[in-house]
Amino acid sequence: MAKRIARDGVLLALALILYAVEAQIPSPVPVPGVKLGISNIITLAAMFCIGPADALCILVCRIVMGQMFAGNAVSLIYAVSGGLLSYLVMYMLHKAVTHKQIWVCSVFSAAAHGVGQILSAAMVMKTTAVFIYIPFLVCSGIITGLFTGLCAGFVIARINNNIK
Amino acid sequence: MMKTKTWIAIIAVLFAVCAVMSVLIFTRKGHVAKVVLDGRVIRTIDLDAVTEEYSFEVRGEGTNVIRVRPGAICVSDADCPDRICVAHGWESSGGAPVVCAPNKLVITISDEDIDGVTF
């Protein structure tokens, strides 16, 4: 148990570092919700190498702490809903793909992240005008998810099951 | 387990469909801007009728400064954490609404006629 907490804590720290680094990169397109999502590499690694429960703990802690450092109460809602929907998709797919197809899982979870953010944004801002960004966010999610998924694939291939 | 080729095909189709939808959406045209704060239309501006550049402030969750010039509108300053609304720049056609998600502000541009009630 102590080992588990220590290991998940290290992964959480890594995810937060990636999150902080990413926050320094200006978004190339001014559309809310478009981002690289490199901290998702940690969530993917945790999901495939440790298990869904640990991945969820790391994800939720990373989102809440990340938003405390850079964000406000409203952006926390978007981050949580995007994160949870992407986790749900990742959880449903992680048994359906091989270790060589981790990027597939990442692509769909990144697309779901954008959809989740827009759904919560529509609810919070009480307007359906933001829905028209959904196709764009799915496209950007496919591209960024491909990138982070391939990265996660390399990471997982290196650490294999050594962190279990 | 599905083959990698099958996954690539599914993702490619999804990408193509969404890309086409995005292009169709972003090339729509309009001239009536609606400033929506927290779900309420607080200002309706006919951008074609604007003759002089001006700006005004809206306060909700935070503060945004909105700038209007003939045919275009933008958020020129904001106190939100990500400032995506400012980065959006001038919006004139109406395809993409200017969104400040943390401050619950949306500026849509459409072809609708101005109704006096919301102004």
Give tens-digit pLDDT for A15-69: 999 999 988 887 778 788 888 999 999 999 999 999 999 999 999 999 999 998 8
More confident residue, B74 or A159: B74
Facing A125 at nearest CB: one of B17, B38, B96: B38
Among the partner-chain residues A32, A97, A135, the one whose CB lies closest to the CB of B18 is A135
Structure tokens at A7: 């290991």
Measure the CA–CA gap between A1 and A110, rounded to whole angstroms. Answer: 31
Residues B17 and B67 in one domain: no
Sheet (strand B72-78) strand order = B54-59, B63-69, B72-78
* Total tally of structural domains belonging to chain B: 2
Same structural domain for residues B18 and B63?
Answer: no
Mark whether B16 and B58 lie in a shared domain.
Answer: no
B119 pLDDT higher than 70: no
pLDDT at position B96, please? 86
pLDDT in tens, B70-116: 999 999 999 988 888 999 999 987 778 999 988 999 999 988 654 44
- Across the range B50-73, mean pLDDT stands at 92
- With beta carbons less than 8 A apart as the criterion, state whether B73 and B64 touch: no
pLDDT tops 80 at residue A92: yes
The parent domain of residue B90 ranges over 31-110
Chain B: closest CA distance from residue A152 (Å): 17
> For chain A, what is the domain count?
1
**B103–A74: do the CB atoms touch at under 8 Å?**
yes
**Is B119 inside any structural domain?**
no
pLDDT band at B118 (very low <50, low <70, confident <90, very high): very low
Average pLDDT, chain A: 91
Q: Is residue A81 part of a domain?
A: yes
CB contact under 8 A, B39 and A126: yes
How much is the pLDDT for A161?
A: 62
Domain of A27, CATH number, reads 1.10.1760.20
As a whole-number percent, the residues of chain A with pLDDT over 70 amount to: 98
